[in-house]
Amino acid sequence: MASNSAAVTEGSATRADPANAPPTRPWAAPADEVLAALATDPERGLTTAEAQRRLARTGPNELATHKPIPGWRRFLQQFRDPLVLLLLAATGVSTATWLLDPDTPLPYEAIAILAIVLLNAIMGYAQQARAEHAIAALRQMTAPQATVIRDGQPVVVLAREIVPGDLLVVEEGATVPADARLLRCAALQVAEAVLTGESLPVTKEAAPLPADVPLADQHNMIFGGTSVTSGRGLAVVVATGMGTRMGQIAGMLEQAPDTATPLQRELARVGRLLGVAVVLIAVVTVAAILLVQDVTTPAGILDVLVFGVALAVAAVPEGLPAVVTVVLALGVQRMAERNAIVRHLSAVETLGSASVIASDKTGTLTRNEMTVRTVVTASGRLELGGTGYAPHGTATVRPAGTAAELPLETADPALRNELQRALTVGDLANNAVLQEEDGRWSVQGDPTEGALLVAARKAGLDDEQLGRFRRIGELPFSSDRKLMTTVHTDAASADRILVFTKGAPDVLLTRCASELNGMEPVPLTDQRRREILAENEALAGQALRTLGVAYRELPPEAVGPHGPDQTVEHDLVFAGLIGMLDPPRAEARDAVARARAAGIRTLMITGDHPVTASVIAAELGISDDRRAVAGTALTQQSDAELVESVRGISVYARVSPRDKLRIVRALQHHGDIIAMTGDGVNDAPALKAADIGVAMGITGTDVSREASDLVLADDNYASIVAAVEEGRAIFANIRKFLRYLLSSNIGEVVTMFFGVLLADLIGLTEAAAGALPLPLLATQILWINLVTDGAPALALGLDPPARDVMRRPPRPRGEGVITGTMWRGILFVGAVMATGTLLTLDASLPGGLIEGSGSLDYGRTMAFTTLVFFSLFTVFNARSDTRSAFVGLFANPWLLGAVALSLLLQVAVVYVPALQQAFATVALSFTDWLWCAAVGSSVLVLREVTKLARRSRP
């Protein structure tokens, strides 16, 4: 299959053979040259036979697909994580030990571990299956049918059967099935927001363009996946399937690697660390027991091996995957309540770590609804408030030469007359329809024309006033004239005919002979024309799209039986300028400010015009200098230059999908964690390449949603910031239960290790009297690890966020989930737990450093209970490395309940006969309980002292 590398680069690739390939840049070539290169008859198109031959050579007009990975392989891929493999190994050893020794109790811990791993695998499998729908969703955007000219006749064919060289007929409402070069068109406008990010429909024309014109300005091209909003046209297909712009995006989406989130990377690292530690601890401890205690019998060796397995399981917080999953799932529910729908659980914390939000403009920071802001006439100007298509908002006037703002109804009659005439023209030279359904206002038709309808009603014009004019003719908008004109009769005067015209102000002024000034027209001087054009430039500098409006009266005989002609568009009366824009969301500015306070930088990356982008960015507080870098300048920068400049630029305009990818990767080069927001197909590759992709749920395409990690149900930028806050709270809670689980597990491991090594010193050997001198039994270790740790750790994940969570800087990319400060606290707590537990064991047994008088079962029960108390007090320490445990002590009732439940379970183990037998415990007295609680609380007291010392430092 032949290809053209230059064509691929420029977005005009075709899968035809070289003999029928279009020019590399078809927009720069005359239409007849493109037709000649494709061997297409300009009137008859291709023959049916030739189309079939080309289809056989080029393949169908659809996006390429890969052979799907079998479900069983995708499921097995969920078990590649080191921590999961470690848990499976521990499960296997525990189960094998139980099978080898029928007298060993049923390994409930192995069953629990296996259930957790299977649950995680099923959830991961489901998430991966969702992500693979991205390419399928992109394929579904292709029009299923299209009209082409073959054998001189228009025929409807399946879109997949279109080939390069086909003459394509497009009209209003159609979806463009392939990339094509326009041959001729009439009032053709195409919505390209899904491809370029342009908020307004693009007016098309057939004339050749310069070779270096960017995608968004290729006005003689139409692209597959876009939709025709008005007009009609004839074009020759130059690219199909993967050769189209949409196909190139699909290729980039497919090539973008799936990157692990910081949480995934850190848990994998912790898993590898614990895996090594488990092997070393188990081997060293078993070897120490065999050497120190001189164990030689097969039964003794088996007991030691069973103990080694139990110690290995204790060293691994096997509750960690379950707690992480549950806490993330609960966080997902809270995010959903704040209109942020999470597609990947492990991506939740990444949003909380984001240091940059790279946001699209249209529909994300703005409402994607055109709104008239200003109407300028000879005697002053009208400022309209409100946003969207609801016809409600303030209307104030400012007479010329003054700074005073007055309500419209109190304005001078002359100014009011000018404004009403201007808005009447905008309302009647119009084909849009304003409608309300269930309290929601919407527009059918061009959004610019819809904005004019809304403006007229905000200014007090109603259907009764406007309904007196009946349309009898129309001159549609064309790219050549850049005007639209309608002709009306006036019910108030039977012989009165009015012409209403709107269009580009500079073009319209050349057709005007006078200007409405007050109640009557006055001649339009050259000086006044210059003033109007200067005012137009000033409005454009405020990111307002401007239209001029004008009118004239005609005698009845001026409109013949065939309707008006272009002669009616002369000797017009200029009525005014109308400035409009797609307004920022009302809450977006506050959201940007909150993000900035949280140390998060907001970028605007849009396909819209640089002036529009810079003004909107300044209004939202994204940029102070109104500087915007256009895509043409971006393409001239090397990757190294972009890496250097990206930290100082906050607004990018007229960018391509590849530019977005380059910006994201340049920011990642600096260590930033990127949250990329978007709604169009053009955003999908960058959404996938970013650390977390945030798609729009209402205006977003299926492709962007499937490629993202997070979907905003309300398309609201403020919801992104709310999700950041929730993500930070979730990540803080993950750190809390990691701190708790690792502290407890290390305390258990250190207790067992030094208990064996110091058995003679603490009187354990003497109390054992020939039995294996272990400080705790394997079942007691597993009880602490699986039962006591579970509920409190989960409750820590429900802790409410700290009040300053959005006043802290983002976590650096290189910083682990567990920091050096956390590790020091974890090791300190583990050492305190082991010391207190072993001293309690010593004090409960005869001999040793502290003389006691209890039996071995009594001593182990005391040590067992003390270690449980240590864990329960540690859970309050784990809420912060710096803040006192008593701050917000009662803010989390779930935590208090979990501690109470764990304590009740420990009471049951000590007093219920069946559990006494299973766990080798004996009943304790009230004094014994006080002793265990007092020793266990020492960890809380000591940590409070260290926290106070840390808070006291400058």
Q: Which of 615-629, 690-704, 801-815 has the highest mean pLDDT?
A: 615-629
| Catalytic entry in 166, 179, 360, 789 | 360
User: What number is the average pLDDT over the span 674-683?
Assistant: 75
Decide: helix, strand or coil at residue 607.
coil
Does the pLDDT of residue 13 top 50, yes or no?
no
Q: How many CB atoms lie within 10 A of CB 329?
A: 14
Tell me how far apart the alpha carbons of residues 188 and 155 are, in angstroms, rounded to a whole number: 21
SS3 readout for 173-185 = CCECCCEEEEEEE
Percent of the chain with pLDDT strictly greater than 70: 81
More reliable by pLDDT, 94 or 886: 886
* Whole-number pLDDT of residue 66: 57
In DSSP notation, 659-703 reads: HHHHHHHHHHHTTPPEEEEE-SGGGHHHHHHSSEEEEESSS--HH
- 320 sits in which H/E element: helix 320-337
More reliable by pLDDT, 929 or 611: 929
More reliable by pLDDT, 174 or 943: 943
- Amino acid identity, position 931: W
Does the pLDDT of residue 10 top 70, yes or no?
no
Identify which of 891, 875, 728, 886 has the alpha carbon closest to the alpha carbon of residue 800: 891
Q: Which of 26-35, 262-271, 341-350, 777-786 has the highest mean pLDDT?
A: 26-35
Local confidence band at 268 (pLDDT 50, 70, 90 cut-offs): low
* Whole-number pLDDT of residue 143: 39
State the chain's mean pLDDT as an integer.
81
Q: Which of 178-187, 570-579, 630-639 has the highest mean pLDDT?
A: 570-579
Judge whether 933 and 818 are in contact, CB under 8 Å.
no
Q: How many CB atoms lie within 10 A of CB 780?
A: 25
Which tokens go with 2?
A: 């032949």
* Whole-number pLDDT of residue 291: 74
Judge whether 818 and 266 are in contact, CB under 8 Å.
yes
- pTM given for the model: 0.64
Q: How many CB atoms lie within 10 A of CB 522?
A: 13
The beta-carbon contacts of 168-171 under 8 Å, at least 24 apart in sequence, are 168/234, 168/235, 168/236, 168/237, 169/232, 169/233, 169/234, 170/222, 170/228, 170/232, 170/233, 170/234, 170/235, 171/228, 171/231, 171/232, 171/233
* Whole-number pLDDT of residue 4: 33
300-315 pLDDT, tens digit per residue, is 676 676 667 666 655 6
* Whole-number pLDDT of residue 378: 94
* Whole-number pLDDT of residue 2: 34
More reliable by pLDDT, 786 or 394: 394
The verdict on whether 360 is a catalytic residue reads: yes
Decide: helix, strand or coil at residue 942.
helix
Tell me how far apart the alpha carbons of residues 60 and 54 are, in angstroms, rounded to a whole number: 10
135-146 pLDDT, tens digit per residue, is 344 344 333 678
Strand ranges in 518-666 using DSSP code E only, listed in sequence order: 520-523, 545-554, 572-581, 601-605, 629-630, 651-653
User: What number is the average pLDDT over the span 377-388?
Assistant: 90
Does the pLDDT of residue 892 top 50, yes or no?
yes
Residues 417, 422, 428: CA angle, nearest 5 degrees: 120
Tell me how far apart the alpha carbons of residues 522 and 470 are, in angstroms, rounded to a whole number: 27
Q: Which of 515-529, 618-632, 776-790 has the lowest mean pLDDT?
A: 776-790
Tell me how far apart the alpha carbons of residues 62 and 242 are, in angstroms, rounded to a whole number: 7
Which tokens go with 81?
A: 């994580």
82-100 helix and 320-337 helix, angle to the nearest 10 degrees: 130
More reliable by pLDDT, 665 or 174: 665
Tell me how far apart the alpha carbons of residues 577 and 536 are, in angstroms, rounded to a whole number: 7
Tell me how far apart the alpha carbons of residues 870 and 934 are, in angstroms, rounded to a whole number: 10
633-643 pLDDT, tens digit per residue, is 888 889 899 99
* Whole-number pLDDT of residue 8: 32
User: What number is the average pLDDT over the span 717-737?
Assistant: 85
List Cα–Cα distances, 806 to 261, 593, 602, in angstroms: 21, 11, 15
Tell me how far apart the alpha carbons of residues 676 and 357 are, in angstroms, rounded to a whole number: 6
List Cα–Cα distances, 753 to 284, 301, 315, 470, 845, in angstroms: 9, 17, 11, 95, 18
* Whole-number pLDDT of residue 129: 53
Q: How many CB atoms lie within 10 A of CB 417?
A: 18
Which tokens go with 122?
A: 């099923």
Helices of type H across 176-255: 193-196, 245-255
Judge whether 415 and 554 are in contact, CB under 8 Å.
no
Decide: helix, strand or coil at residue 792.
helix
Tell me how far apart the alpha carbons of residues 436 and 272 are, in angstroms, rounded to a whole number: 60
Does the pLDDT of residue 864 top 90, yes or no?
yes
Identify which of 530, 616, 103 has the alpha carbon closest to the alpha carbon of residue 603: 616
- 222 sits in which H/E element: strand 221-222
* Whole-number pLDDT of residue 127: 42
Sign (positive/negative) of CA torsion 780, 874, 899, 348?
negative
827-859 pLDDT, tens digit per residue, is 999 999 999 999 999 999 988 888 888 898 999
List Cα–Cα distances, 141 to 135, 544, 684, 804, 878, in angstroms: 10, 32, 14, 45, 50
Local confidence band at 535 (pLDDT 50, 70, 90 cut-offs): very high
Local confidence band at 429 (pLDDT 50, 70, 90 cut-offs): very high
* Whole-number pLDDT of residue 140: 44
List Cα–Cα distances, 364 to 62, 671, 700, in angstroms: 30, 25, 10
Instruction: Please state the φ and ψ torsions of residue 473, each to the nearest 5 degrees.
Output: -170, 165
Which tokens go with 887?
A: 């701050």
* Whole-number pLDDT of residue 137: 42
Helices of type H across 59-81: 71-76
Residues 918, 844, 749: CA angle, nearest 5 degrees: 60
Q: What does DSSP assign to residue 881?
A: S
463-519 pLDDT, tens digit per residue, is 888 888 999 888 888 767 889 999 999 888 877 899 999 998 999 999 999 999 999
Instruction: Please state the φ and ψ torsions of residue 839, each to the nearest 5 degrees.
Output: -65, -40
User: What number is the average pLDDT over the span 795-802?
Assistant: 84
Which tokens go with 5?
A: 């590398």
Tell me how far apart the alpha carbons of residues 484 and 504 are, in angstroms, rounded to a whole number: 10
Judge whether 1 and 59 are in contact, CB under 8 Å.
yes
Which tokens go with 450?
A: 């819809």
| Burial call 338-348: b when 16+ CB within 10 Å, e when fewer | bbbbbbbbbbb
User: What number is the average pLDDT over the span 744-750?
Assistant: 86
Phi/psi region, residue 374 (left: phi>0; alpha: psi -120 to 50; beta: rest), is beta
